[in-house]
Chain A
């Protein structure tokens, strides 16, 4: 199968910098993805999500009036969200811990630091395609399971519905 076989795939790029947007578009085209929808902020991206139904999203963090964090939160939790499960890769130069945690807690699927490398971009796309994560719904969060590693020594608190149902959460 050639790259041309993936021209049915649709990607939404949300990025306010023209040059970064052009770079991401070139890389998507090189991957064989021809249907590239481009937006410069979260508000227009949300509308395009509804109209064009992309298969995954690449979004920047800092944009106005709606940034990538707020956009992600809207996609995951808004009552009229057209696809709360759409994979979202945040692509940003903001690598401070607080920002990464905010992106994680908004519900991004993957995080990619700028400057982007081809290898890291491919790894993130491979992850969202090959290993789609379960989603978690609780009182304060809806989005991909944020846990990256399995900790055999974890001793609680136990919060899963089936933990409570199975009486795991009792001394």
Chain B
């Protein structure tokens, strides 16, 4: 083995800094965290926010449509990013997944300095809105639509990377 460089690292073990709680409290806290009662209580707390978050996602999808219509791709990304973060907790999983796919497409095209296809964006935006307003959206069309849109983006990104690079 060869020494490379002259890096020195110091390790500070966990008994050298304050813990989150005492050892006894940790044991009791973990027991509580792992109980079925705690899981149920947390599920109920999350479910209580579901309707409110669903309304927020639907409002976001309207702003998303407006931004797409104006060609404002930064706002499209920002709104899609908020939707992908919230939709799952709003019971709108398919909307969230499609929004995630849209964010991935926009990030990849921006990074590659390539032109964003308004048609691809439009397909995503329309699907997010329809999924957000459809009952039982994740188990019906929403999942299939997400799959097809991801396949479309994959084809577009493959075509992008297959383009000959300009000489330096």
Interface residues on B, range: 35 or more
A20: chain B residues at CB < 8 Å are 85-86
Compute how far the CA of A155 lies from the CA of B33 in the bound complex, rounded to whole angstroms. 39
Compute how far the CA of A3 lies from the CA of B37 in the bound complex, rounded to whole angstroms. 11
Compute how far the CA of A36 lies from the CA of B161 in the bound complex, rounded to whole angstroms. 47
- A47 lies within 8 A of chain B by Cβ: no
What 4 pairs between A and B have smallest CB-CB spacing? Answer: A115-B88, A93-B85, A169-B3, A114-B85
Q: Using an 8 Å CB-CB cutoff, how does the interface string of A119-156 with B read, 1 for contact, 0 for none?
A: 10110011011101111111100000100000000011
CB of B20 within 8 A of CB of A56, answer yes
Known A3-B38, A129-B20; judge A139-B7 contact (CB<8 A). yes
CB of B3 within 8 A of CB of A134, answer no
Least Cβ distance of A24 to chain B in Å? 10
CB of A134 within 8 A of CB of B7, answer no
Select A133's contact among B14, B34, B46, B93, beta carbons within 8 Å: B14
- B107 lies within 8 A of chain A by Cβ: yes
Q: In the complex, which residue of chain A has the Cβ closest to the Cβ of B89?
A: A115
- B165 lies within 8 A of chain A by Cβ: no
Interface contact tally, CB-CB below 8 A? 160
Which residues of B8-45 are within 8 A (CB) of A? 8-14, 17-21, 25-26, 28-34, 38-39, 41-45
CB of A160 within 8 A of CB of B49, answer no
A79: chain B residues at CB < 8 Å are none
A9: chain B residues at CB < 8 Å are 20-21
15 of the cross-chain contacts (CB-CB < 8 Å) are A19-B53, A22-B52, A26-B48, A30-B45, A94-B81, A115-B86, A118-B39, A118-B46, A122-B39, A125-B33, A129-B26, A129-B30, A159-B7, A164-B3, A171-B1
A19: chain B residues at CB < 8 Å are 49, 52-53, 56, 86
Which residues of B84-136 are within 8 A (CB) of A? 84-89, 93, 96, 100, 103-104, 107
Q: In the complex, which residue of chain A has the Cβ closest to the Cβ of B9?
A: A138
Known A62-B81, A157-B5; judge A115-B87 contact (CB<8 A). yes
Q: In the complex, which residue of chain B has the Cβ closest to the Cβ of A118?
A: B42
B5: chain A residues at CB < 8 Å are 157, 159
CB of B2 within 8 A of CB of A157, answer yes
- B82 lies within 8 A of chain A by Cβ: yes
CB of A114 within 8 A of CB of B86, answer yes
Least Cβ distance of A8 to chain B in Å? 9
Compute how far the CA of A158 lies from the CA of B87 in the bound complex, rounded to whole angstroms. 45
Q: In the complex, which residue of chain B has the Cβ closest to the Cβ of A83?
A: B18
- A48 lies within 8 A of chain B by Cβ: no
CB of B45 within 8 A of CB of A6, answer no
CB of B107 within 8 A of CB of A96, answer yes
- A102 lies within 8 A of chain B by Cβ: no
- B158 lies within 8 A of chain A by Cβ: no
Known A30-B41, A138-B8; judge A85-B18 contact (CB<8 A). yes
Compute how far the CA of A27 lies from the CA of B107 in the bound complex, rounded to whole angstroms. 31
B82: chain A residues at CB < 8 Å are 17, 93
B33: chain A residues at CB < 8 Å are 31, 122, 125-126
- B4 lies within 8 A of chain A by Cβ: yes
